A and B are shown apart, each in its own frame.
Chain A
Amino acid sequence: GQQVMQIPQYQHVQEGEDFTTYCNSSTTLSNIQWYKQRPGGHPVFLIQLVKSGEVKKQKRLTFQFGEAKKNSSLHITATQTTDVGTYFCAASFGNEKLTFGTGTRLTIIP
């Protein structure tokens, strides 16, 4: 089946450092969504990207959709302890289903 590769699997950063996670597909995507799951919790929707080259910002979070619509990234500037969790991309290949990446688990060293 169609897959999205998400890297890295784990990321440990000092508080205040930046963090980036990437999602890649070999197939053009219709749209991509990003979710955050806190430890012990459930995924919570962050944002959706639809257009080629789209960039969206939410405070310290910047989301990008590649020009070819085959990759996406989430960048967090100056991480805080509240950013701890696992970040998932979820992509659509043109049907009604979302395919989730394996996630990047972010831990913050105070």
Chain B
Amino acid sequence: DGGITQSPKYLFRKEGQNVTLSCEQNLNHDAMYWYRQDPGQGLRLIYYSQIVNDFQKGDIAEGYSVSREKKESFPLTVTSAQKNPTAFYLCARSVGGSSYNEQFFGPGTRLTVL
């Protein structure tokens, strides 16, 4: 799965609860990304990080938070402020932070908020 581990594969939460999705990579790559995919839609960028202790908002960051305390880990928290959190969440890595680098995706986490 592209050297990226995401867990769990399926996640169910009650409305109003925060939930943290795990993303780990073992290839010492600098850049990591979080995308959201809705049925029949493309991937939309939530947050990305090019180096440890630094990250930038993507196109749909509202209601989400991230941290990058270690190079291999980039967890995503879906907060209760996210209006429509049910979606397929994909984490990706790339060697560098340039758009010229191919991205390698993890298997994804399907989040359902009840």
Residues of A whose CB lies within 8 Å of any CB of B are 1, 6, 9, 30-31, 33, 41-45, 48, 50, 88, 90, 92, 95-103, 105
Contact = CB atoms under 8 A, between A and B. Distances in A.
A62 B104 CA distance: 22
Given A42-B106, A45-B102, A48-B100, A97 B90 contact: no
Interface in B30-71: 35, 40-45, 48, 50, 58-59
User: Chain B interface secondary structure, helix, strand, loop or mixed?
Assistant: loop
Contacts, number: 61
A42 B108 contact: yes
A102 B41 contact: yes
Closest 5 A-B residue pairs measured CB to CB? A92-B99, A100-B42, A42-B105, A45-B102, A100-B43
Interface residues of B, number: 25
A41 B108 CA distance: 8
B40 A9 contact: yes
A47 B97 CA distance: 18
A103 B106 CA distance: 19
A33 B103 CA distance: 10
A70 B98 CA distance: 20
10 contacts: A9-B40, A30-B99, A31-B99, A42-B105, A88-B42, A88-B43, A90-B103, A98-B45, A100-B35, A100-B44
